[in-house]
A and B are shown apart, each in its own frame.
Chain A
């Protein structure tokens, strides 16, 4: 049974980071960036799933998401179920999340 540590690191006043697994997934050069800002439920999750299916193992996607239910619940849960590494950065001043998922 994998034991996944949820690490919370507060790096500045305007964003909070939640990480799954100890290796940082966040990267300035993701293999793909997916913008789901403004999309209604369930498109953020659905589009993320589709994009991930097309990625190769080891690649990272960066998803921009502003739907709390997707960013905090359904997408991380999906990543966990698939065994992918996941890291979420909430940009408080902008009101949306950058979700980094690395396909294993």
Chain B
């Protein structure tokens, strides 16, 4: 079994690398989805590229049996974690999450990396995010949440197989990967200027490529060091981080603690991915500091409040939907799980809905 030191350092490195890439690449999925409505496809192209890279890389890891961890001296091969298809949860949760990120001014990873740049609003967003997650999983919204994910509402392929884009049509997964990659790559590069370097940051193509590579590395490392292939995700890990800090272990339930997937660090039991929550802002901070872009920034009071509310809504949506813009829309879609593709479509729709009501309509009214 991997030592606590290796466990900790690798978790921090993967999260930190992602934070660095996000900051330097100005990579935010909320912006990507929103700007499509304003006919700026740059960030969306970066996102599509990241998806292609992650999809190919992750499935290669799985099929080549490079994905796995050591247990009692033997290498145990792992598989990518494909989330079960719970339509009510994926659809409603995804839609709510999409709305929340617009108010919060950033997506699940976006709010974390911008904490590293020093904007106080995003600290509020992160706390709001945790509130929403906790309220949904443990609190006021728990009955509704449990209803949406109840066993009778899970849709399986056959007896107990998680539906994927390839098994529902009955083809080899690489055919689906090839088709999607071809479509996305054409959409990404056709008519674009991929190598126009954006001043000091990364060009969009480099940002997308690097984000995808870190996501693939996270798939491998989460299995090898973290004991379970979860890849990059922020919803569960954020919840786990705060539970560990508040209550001593990442599940707030000592009986549920899995010794392969967690370690005791300074008296608190963390899961591997929960370390991302600290590492992403730190990585972003380092990148930002080197570019001299870190500064304590405070928005107007009403904006702080709105961002807190946005974070809260994001948290509800992410917990219910089973993931955020990274958990579902990057990591999840790379596994071709139907749950993640459906959730992502609804995240986009929720984003567009909120953009219309909060940004487009009020701005039109100002023209009169």
Contact = CB atoms under 8 A, between A and B. Distances in A.
Interface of A: 18, 37-43, 46, 50, 53, 66-69, 72-74, 76-78, 81, 88, 90, 92, 94-96
Interface residues of B toward A: which range? 35 or more
Contact of B298 (A38, A73, A76, A88): A38
A92 B31 contact: no
B201 A37 contact: no
B232 to A, nearest CB: 20
Interface string B102-134: 001110001000100101011000000000000
Given A50-B366, A68-B26, A77-B40, A42 B31 contact: yes
Contacts of A40: 104-106, 119, 121-122, 299, 303, 307
Interface of B: 23, 26, 28, 30-31, 34-35, 40, 42, 104-106, 110, 114, 117, 119, 121-122, 198-201, 288, 291-295, 297-300, 303, 307, 359, 363, 366-367
Contacts of B34: 42
A38 B299 CA distance: 4
A88 B298 CA distance: 22
A66 B295 contact: yes
Given A40-B106, A92-B292, A95-B293, A68 B201 contact: yes
Contacts of B26: 68-69, 72-73
B231 to A, nearest CB: 24
Contact of A95 (B28, B295, B359): B295
Lowest 3 A-B CB distances belong to which pairs? A95-B295, A40-B105, A69-B26
Given A53-B367, A69-B31, 14 more contacts: A38-B297, A38-B299, A39-B299, A39-B300, A41-B106, A42-B105, A68-B291, A68-B293, A72-B26, A73-B26, A73-B42, A73-B201, A78-B40, A88-B199
25 contacts: A37-B297, A38-B303, A39-B300, A40-B104, A40-B106, A40-B121, A40-B307, A41-B30, A41-B106, A41-B114, A42-B34, A43-B303, A50-B363, A66-B297, A68-B26, A68-B201, A68-B288, A68-B291, A69-B26, A69-B28, A73-B201, A74-B31, A78-B40, A81-B40, A94-B295
